[in-house]
Amino acid sequence: MFSKANSKPVKPTSIPESQKADSASSERSVPSIISADLTVTGDLQSAGEIQIDGRVEGDIRCSSLIIGISGGVTGEIKAERIRMHGSVNGQVNAKSVFLSSTARMNGDISHESLAIEPGAYMEGHCRRIMEPVDLMLTDGKKAEARRPEKTEAKAEAPATS
């Protein structure tokens, strides 16, 4: 079973550089975690996922945000997806928003998709947005939600002869 007949070390095969880039982009990145005993004062920006179990006092821009039961945010949030189990005081702008039964939301929500479990506390306005919002800007300027344009039809009086 364990013979010494093949004593040559096995060389690991190398992955071509073209495949390395493909496999790295297909892997999911590890979320950035704000632990329960941490308070952050300032803005957070990430191209990936952020999980907040502590406190954040500032604006957040990310792809995906999870606010744990003990987590809390005071500030504006812009993300693709938000799962809220803790508390938020401020504006929320996201494509998909989920408020669990333990969530406490004080502020307005702009969304494409909104789900609220029974027991969740929400005080504010909910507004459905039709166009996706550009969340990550490189020049540091805030992206604003686009409201659907109102079209007004003007009725003209019939011509009289």
In a domain, residue 109? The reply is yes
Give ∠ CA 123-126-130 in degrees, rounded to 5: 165
In a domain, residue 86? The reply is yes
Give ∠ CA 88-48-33 in degrees, rounded to 5: 55
Distance of alpha carbon 62 from alpha carbon 4, whole angstroms: 55
In a domain, residue 70? The reply is yes
At 30 the pLDDT is 85
In a domain, residue 107? The reply is yes
At 64 the pLDDT is 97
Whole-number average pLDDT of the chain: 79
Q: What stretches in the chain show pLDDT beneath 50?
A: 10, 12-13, 18-26, 136-158, 161
Distance of alpha carbon 111 from alpha carbon 105, whole angstroms: 14
In a domain, residue 46? The reply is yes
pLDDT digits (tens, 9 = 90+) for 92-128: 999 999 999 999 999 999 999 999 999 999 999 999 9
In the 8-state DSSP scheme, what is residue 55? E
Contact 35, 52 (CB under 8 A): no
In a domain, residue 39? The reply is yes
Structural domain span for residue 39: 29-128
Contact 76, 61 (CB under 8 A): no
pTM of this structure: 0.66
In a domain, residue 153? The reply is no
**Overall number of domains in the chain:** 1
The three state secondary structure string of 84-127 is: ECCEEECCEEEEEEEECCCCEEECCEEEEEEEECCCCEEECCEE
Distance of alpha carbon 144 from alpha carbon 149, whole angstroms: 14
What would the two tokens of residue 1 be? 């079973």
In a domain, residue 92? The reply is yes
Contact 70, 36 (CB under 8 A): yes
